[in-house]
Structure 1
Amino acid sequence: MGFNVLGLSDDMERVYRALVGMPRCTAADIAEACGMAAPASGRLLSALVRDGLAVRSAGRPPRFSAAAPDVAVGALIQDRERQLGEARALVQRLNETHREATRISHPDMAAELLTDREDISEAVHRLTTGARREVCAFDRPPYVDRPGSNLDAQLERQRTGVAHRVIYDREAVAWPGRLQADIVPSIRAGEQARVRPELPLKLVISDSRAAIIPFSLAPGGQSAAYLIHRSPMLVALQSLFEAQWERAIPLDDTAQPPAGSAPAGPGEPRQPDAETRTLLTLLASGLTDAAIARTQGWSTRTTQRRIHRLMTELGTATRFQTGLAAARRGWL
Structure 2
Amino acid sequence: MWVLLANLGLSEFTETVYRAMLVDHTWSVQQLAERLGATEKQIRQALDQLADLALLIEDNTGGGVQLVRPTIGLSALLARAETEMLERQRQLAATRDAIAAIALEQERQTQRENYLRLEGIDAVRARIEELTRSARTECLSLNPRSAQSPDAKAASTRLNEQMLSRGVRLRAIYQESYRNDPALVSYARWLTGIGGQLRTTSTVPMLAIVYDREVALLPLDPTNSRLGAVEVRSPGVVAAVLALFEQLWAAAVSFGESAPVDANGLDPQIKQLLELLATGQTDEMASRKLGVSLRTVRRMAADLMERLDARSRFQAGLEAGRRGWI
TM-score (norm 2): 0.44
Q: Which structure has the bigger radius of gyration?
A: 2
Instruction: Identify the structure with the greater helix proportion.
Output: 2
